[in-house]
Structure 1
Amino acid sequence: MKSRVVVVGAGGAGLVAALNAHQNGAEVVLVTKEYPTRSQTCMAQGGINAVLNETDGDSVELHIQNTLKSANALADESAVSYMCQEAPKAVAWLDSIGVPFSRTPNSKIAQRKLGGAYGARACYAQDYTGLKILHTLYDRCLAEGIEILNERYLLELLTEPEQSGKKYIRGVSLLNKRSGEVEILEASSVILATGGYSRVYNTYSTNSLSSTGDGIAAALRAGARVSDMEFVQFHPTALKGSSILISESARGAGGHLLNSKGERFVDELLPRDEVSKAIHDEIAKGENIYLDIRHLGVEFIEKELPQEAKLAKLYENVDPADDLIPIKPAAHYTMGGIEVDSNSSTSIEGLFAAGECANHRVHGANRLGGNSLLEIVVFGKEAGINAAKYAKNATKDEAILEAKELSENEIAEIKRYANEISFYEKQAILGEIFYKNVGIKRDKGALQEALKEVQEMKSSLPKMGVSDKTKEYNTNLIEFLEFKNMLTVAETILLSAISRQESRGAHFRVDFPATDKKFRAHTIVDAEGVVSYEN
């Protein structure tokens, strides 16, 4: 078998990884459970951070310091420095492959200021930045002839043990959503780029329905470790009724946050955790909260914020040129994920991870706005290069025995589960519990109550069968598998949040409101659910 790299996930990180693995000589197969153009990357609207011109008073060093400050002493300084130093090259590369960035009158890439940043360093394409990057990357993958398998759901990572006891990757098992057949893809190396897990919050999340933590759950089952799972960033401005994201670009452009009295109650460009807490406190007082961009003018809104205007009209029936936009905080970005080293490699040999499913320790306790798109380009590239290099040197070529049969048996067993309890109802309950008990403010009692509920749901899974027993396009089955993965992820979030007896960044404990230096370490959870801390 030629050195094959399988990339699971076709959002920004997966597409960047696939391009770089391909350009470094590997045979690449890109696998996605939906289609690349539906990935969560398209919702990253505000911009991608990069200091392009230090003569304006901004600098790479300030970008590093802003990132570290937002991370609340929980980021790896060398990883942050590398990401920020690579940022100008990352943007130049995106520009070179055709990303249609907005331009200044003298044709330079336009930049705006986002929350927590010293200067205007977020390079943007109107308020469609992630979407434009995603489509351009997808076009490049098609032009390079990279094989893309759509509608394949990740079941398991396939590993073999070394004599030392360490595992190495052998491939993946997939469920072909169209046919219902289990498929096995052998691989010399695998890159997980499966996105985050904020859909645990169900309707209280800005993320797509696909952000269910599938790659993280599969990595845990395979023996990898996860870290910092308790840190879930709430975006301050989601539409009140639908949780649809209104980009930080609206506040970066000068939008105001108002309460029911018409008062501004917080500096809108503080880091997201601080703004979200301020909104939470106002709502607790009985206030309704609004985003006001009326003063920016119709022309500016139409030119720079067309998507935000469209979303407000469509989902809240308000015209932001004339009306206030009702908003609330919602779960948005997950800082935790699969533990990786500086090569984007996990504890399983040949298994790499990039993007929101991975923890490169650059976001710490709270991500700086504009750094998510930067991370997927910088570390997606590194994952692709290193996975290709590993694949070239891989010597294991024995067949994967019994993998298909094992996955088929698991699917058959699920279809035999009793259908006594609706897992859809339990999923809705899970979202309510998480928003209430594992949200912007937390305490021990509420977290333990949520953990008990999650563990009871896990034990009741055999009573939550699927009503659809067919093979082709069985969405009922896929949604059950996603719910099962969400419960695995939810348990790690809760174990980590209960263990961290302090407040830091996006993790705020009412019963431990101070930051405690003894917790200046990363929360690690292994496959057995054992929690530990590492610097």
Structure 2
Amino acid sequence: MKNRVIVIGSGGAGLVAALSAHESGAKVTIITKEYPTRSQTCMAQGGINAALSNVDEDSAELHIQNTLKSARSLANEDAVRFLCNSAKGAIEWLDSIGVPFSRTKDGKIAQRKLGGASATRACYAQDYTGLKILHTLYDRCTALGIEFLNERYLLEFITDESSNKKSICGVSVLNKRSGEVELIQSNSVIVATGGYSRVFHNYSTNSISSSGDGIAAALRAGAVASDLEFIQFHPTSLRGSSILISESARGAGGYLLNSKGERFINELAPRDEVSRAIHDEILKGESIFLDIRHLGSEFIEKELPQEAKLAKLYENIDPSLELIPIKPAAHYTMGGLDVDEKTSTNIQGLFAVGECANHRVHGANRLGGNSLLELVVFGRVAGESAAKFACEQDLDIDIKRYKNLHEENLEQIKSYTNEINFYEKYSELGEMFYKDVGIKRDKKTLLCTLENVKEMKKALKNMGVSDKGNIYNSNLIEFLEFKNMLFLSELILLCAIQRDESRGAHFRVDTQESKTAFDAHTIIDKDGVISYEN
């Protein structure tokens, strides 16, 4: 089909891209390993940035400067200007398709202040902003008849190397319901599979699906990634479960307190600074709490209902009366597949958008409220770019011959012995990453962790699955996810070791200053070969 666009992933980025591609005349198929409304976009609770000046004076230029400052000299200014100058139009578009934003008394879209912002800028829908955007996008896609193939796990991207430049020609997926390998042909594919912070296992605010599958598959196909070492820790996740407590709670006036009841950091400083301050207090033996009691039960019920519900459900406390015990947890991955201004990777016809892509707007530390904005602004670009590419290309390659190869790869994995429990190794990986590749790092422990990851990779053939069946084989899917995370873990470590400085979310205790020699993006391929690019 000449004008077909495949979108891998059904979070906000994927759905916006699908709508944009559909509007541009393409036949769109969305492939997702879960179901659309379970996407990580749901966890973007605080808001979406746009300089609307509905509460106080603001401007796109202030938004640009806040974003660049947070990025620590590692963002592309042209890309940031495009993002921030497009913000008002993005909000107007979301409003036009029915996103139920909270409103001021005079009917304007409500806004709140988030960390690192010089004005009240984040448009919100209570503390369910991402969820409500996602559901609205999904409703829009279904109303337009866009095709969804749910419960398909991405195996590989299929490429053609007969021309001078490698080109995409389709994807292979595992149908979770039947266990069958399916090949879907298209020479225009958008990767929108989210980030990789689930490498941190139980120390991540993300769902178990954030395993970096799309990034790993694209790297294996020949794409390159950039800035994988930059992983943002959110300052406030619930201590016991790592469930996110939104920045909206601090934006509304919440305090961070230690065991002595002392405030020790500006709660609305950039996330990397707040997370490091909490980390240092914990190392002193302090317990850390979020205090929103003074906001009052009426305000909490109206503006922060989800945070109250989560605190009650997972910590058994009433936040209108009690302190919320918190800790930092891995939250957002600034790095991803390296893309240009049209969201294209270095593989012809393969585009990427959202957290799995590096649009070079977040740099070393993402500004709160910019992730939802990114997926709308660049999602629309990705859809239009992919549709244009699809309509200009002719498919003349039969990809059916690849099916046996991918089936054989799965059978080989099923033949692995399972004397080592890979679930235990996954837990061990998460512990190592949180301790040694987390908020603070040093070269010695990074090198040690790298050796441990390499040993785990060597032992993969002894960590096979116990379930050899086909139908809903979650054991096999989880092994494939773990395999992808091990692959990405090694690349993350190589990037973190090579960047011999501290910058934003990458803080090296053995070299705590930023260095102008590293005012550049780390580019890495599947073999771990690193270069730097301004």
Secondary structure of the 1:28 match is strand
Separation in 1, partners of 2:2, 2:295? 56
Separation in 2, partners of 1:20, 1:162? 30
Larger displacement relative to structure 2 (53-62 or 122-131): 53-62
Deviations 1:294-333 (A, max 9, x none): 0000100000000000000010111000000000000000
Matched, 1:29 2:29: yes
1:398 matched residue in structure 2: 397
Separation in 1, partners of 2:318, 2:130? 24
Structure 1: stretches of 5+ with no match in the other structure: none
The amino acid across from 1:341 in the alignment is D
1:256 matched residue in structure 2: 255
1:420 matched residue in structure 2: 419
Secondary structure of the 1:183 match is strand
Q: 1:401 offset after TM fit, Å?
A: 4.5
On the 8 A contact 2:238/2:311 being kept in 1, the answer is yes
Secondary structure of the 1:470 match is coil
1:482 matched residue in structure 2: 481
Secondary structure of the 1:56 match is coil
1:103 matched residue in structure 2: 103
> % of aligned pairs identical?
71
Pairing of 1:14-25 with structure 2 (within 5 A) = 14-25=14-25
The amino acid across from 2:410 in the alignment is I
Separation in 2, partners of 1:527, 1:162? 21
Pairing of 1:347-426 with structure 2 (within 5 A) = 347-426=346-425
Secondary structure of the 1:497 match is helix
Q: 1:2 offset after TM fit, Å?
A: 3.2
Secondary structure of the 1:402 match is helix
Number of aligned pairs? 534
Q: 1:188 offset after TM fit, Å?
A: 2.2
Structure 2: stretches of 5+ with no match in the other structure: none
Q: 1:363 offset after TM fit, Å?
A: 0.2
Instruction: Report the aligned-residue RMSD.
Output: 0.8
The amino acid across from 1:136 in the alignment is T
Q: 1:55 offset after TM fit, Å?
A: 9.2
2:514 matched residue in structure 1: 515
Larger displacement relative to structure 2 (202-211 or 524-533): 524-533
Separation in 2, partners of 1:342, 1:2? 24
1:88 matched residue in structure 2: 88
2:117 matched residue in structure 1: 117
Deviations 1:128-159 (A, max 9, x none): 00000000000000000000000000000000
Pairing of 1:216-295 with structure 2 (within 5 A) = 216-295=215-294
Deviations 1:92-141 (A, max 9, x none): 00000000000000000000000000111100000000000000000000
Separation in 1, partners of 2:231, 2:396? 40
Q: 1:529 offset after TM fit, Å?
A: 1.0
Secondary structure of the 1:16 match is helix
2:155 matched residue in structure 1: 155
Q: 1:402 offset after TM fit, Å?
A: 1.9
Larger displacement relative to structure 2 (325-334 or 398-407): 398-407
TM-score normalized with structure 1 length: 0.99
Deviations 1:366-409 (A, max 9, x none): 00000000000000110000000000001232211421111100
1:441 matched residue in structure 2: 440
Secondary structure of the 1:221 match is helix
Secondary structure of the 2:440 match is coil
TM-score normalized with structure 2 length: 0.99
Post-superposition, which runs of at least 4 consecutive aligned residues in structure 1 deviate over 3 A?
A: none
Separation in 2, partners of 1:55, 1:328? 31
1:11 matched residue in structure 2: 11
Larger displacement relative to structure 2 (56-65 or 39-48): 56-65
Separation in 1, partners of 2:473, 2:381? 36
Matched, 1:506 2:518: no
The amino acid across from 2:453 in the alignment is V
Secondary structure of the 2:63 match is helix
The amino acid across from 1:130 in the alignment is G
Deviations 1:21-71 (A, max 9, x none): 011111100000000000000000000000113893211000000000000
Separation in 2, partners of 1:228, 1:305? 34
On the 8 A contact 2:54/2:109 being kept in 1, the answer is no
Secondary structure of the 1:169 match is strand
Separation in 2, partners of 1:439, 1:2? 45
The amino acid across from 1:29 in the alignment is T
The amino acid across from 2:463 in the alignment is M
Separation in 2, partners of 1:318, 1:366? 32
